[in-house]
Chain A
Amino acid sequence: MTKDGDVIILTAKEAQELVNKECLKRLGMNLLEYKEKKKKHELPKNSIAVHDIELMLEFA
C-alpha cells in the first residue's frame, strides 16, 4: 500500500481485501463466496449491498 495524501495505491491483493471486507460486513460472506453466489444467481434481489459491491468488483 502506498499512501500519498488522500490517495492510496493498492496492490491487487489489497484491492481484493477492501472488497472482501465490504462483502463480509454487508452480506456476511467473503468475496469468493460472493462471486460463486453471483454465478449461481443466488445473491439477494434488490439489495443495496449487492449494488454497492458490484460497483467495487471491477476495481478488485
Chain B
Amino acid sequence: MLRSRRWCKISIVDALALHRFHFAFTVTYHYLFPQLTMGLALLIVVLKTMGLRTGEDAYHRSARFWARIFAVNFAVGVVTGIPMEFQFGTNWAPFSKAAGGVIGQTLAMEGVFSFFLESTFLGLFLFGERRLGPKGHWWAAFMVFLGSWLSGFFIIATNAWMQHPVGYVIAANGQIALSSFRALMLNPWTLWEYLHNMAGSVVTASFVMASVGAFYLLGGKHKPYARIFVRLGVTAGLVASLLLPLPTGDGQGRNVARWQPATLAAMEGLFETVEGAPLAILGQPDVARKRLDNPLEVPRMLSFLTYQRWMAEVRGLDAFPEDQWPDNIPLLYYSYHIMVGLGTIFIAVMALSAWKLWRGRLFRCRPLLWILMLMLPFPYIANTAGWITAEVGRQPWVVHGLVRTAEGASYNVSAGNAMFTLIGFMGVYGVLSILFLFLVYREIEHGPEPSAPPEELEFAVKR
C-alpha cells in the first residue's frame, strides 16, 4: 500500500516535470525566431524609408536581402508557433479550463487582429514589389511590422495577466471569469514588459544586421551594403540597448518588487531581509544553507534601485513562506544575472561602435568589427535568459497567486506520452535548425547583389 502510494506520487512528479520541460523547450525554441522577426520588421521599414527618401537603390536591395532572411525566419516562427497555442490545451488542460475565459481573449485577439494582417501583407511584401510600386511596397512592409508588433502585444498581455492577474472574478464553479476587459487590456504589468521585450527584440535584429555587415567588411565583400548594415545595426542597436535598463527594465523591476517580492529576492539572491540591501554582481546561491556564496556586492545599491532610498528595507526570501518561493532559485538567479550582464556588455559594445562610427573610423577598425561579428549569439542568449527570469520567477504559480503550476498540468496525459511528444519535438526542431541555418547561410553567402537579371528579380525575392 505504502509502496503503491509512493509510486503514484513519483509518477505525478515525473509527469509534471515533463509537461513543464515540454513547454519550456518548445517555447524557448520558438522565441528564437519571433525576436528576430519583430526587430527585423522594424529595421526593414527603416531601410525602405531611407530608400524612398534618398532614392538610392542600395537601400532597396538591402531591404530585399533582409526580406529573404526574414521570410525563412518567419516561416520557422510560424510553424513552431502553432504548437504553442495548442499546448495550453494538450499539456495544461486544468490551467486552460480555469483561466481560458480570460487568456483565451488575448490569444484569440492575436489570431484575429495580427495573424490575418501579417499573413496577408507578408505575401504582398514578398511578391508584390513591382505591382505595388515603391510607396505601396513601403506600406506592405509597414503592415508586416504592425502585425508582428501587435502579435507581440497580445502575447505579452497574456503573459502579463499570468504574472499579475487583474480584471477577474472567481466563478462558483472555480473557473476564473473575466470581469473587466478594460483592466485586462490596461494591465499595468503589460506596458513595461512589452516595451522591455520589444527593445530586446530590436537589439537582436540590430546585432544580427551589424554582425552580417561586419562579416562582409572583414571578408572584403559587398562593401556598400555592409556599411549600410553596420551603420543601421549600430545606430538602432545603441538606442535599443540603452532602452533596456532605463526606463523599460527599471519599470519592469519595480513591478516585480511591488507584486512579486519573493521573486525579486530570489532573482537578487537576497535570503535575509535587510535595510540598505546590497546588489549582488556575482556569487552562487546556496539554497540549502540560505546564503550567497562568494558574493561580489555593491553596498546598498539594491535598496536604492528598488526604492530610491539607500537605507530602504528590502524583503529577503526569509520574509516569505517557503511554499511561495520560486522552485528553482539558482536558475532564476543565474538567468537574471546573465541577462543583466549581457545587457551591460551590449551597451558598451554599441556605444564604442557608435563613437567610432561617428568619428568615421569604424569600418577600418578590424578588432571592433570582429567583436561585432562574434556578438551574434549573445542577444539571443540574453532574450532567452530574460524570459527564463520571467517564467521561472513566476513559479510556483502558473497564474500568480491563483493557480499553482502543479495544479495546472494535464495528468490525464501520462508521463510516457508526454515524453514521446517531447522527443518528437526535439527531433523535428533539430532538423528545422539544420535547415534554417543552411538556408540562411546560403542567403548570407549569396549576399545582397542580385544574381538574376532585373526582370527575374522578383523570382529571387521569394518567401
Partners in one complex: no
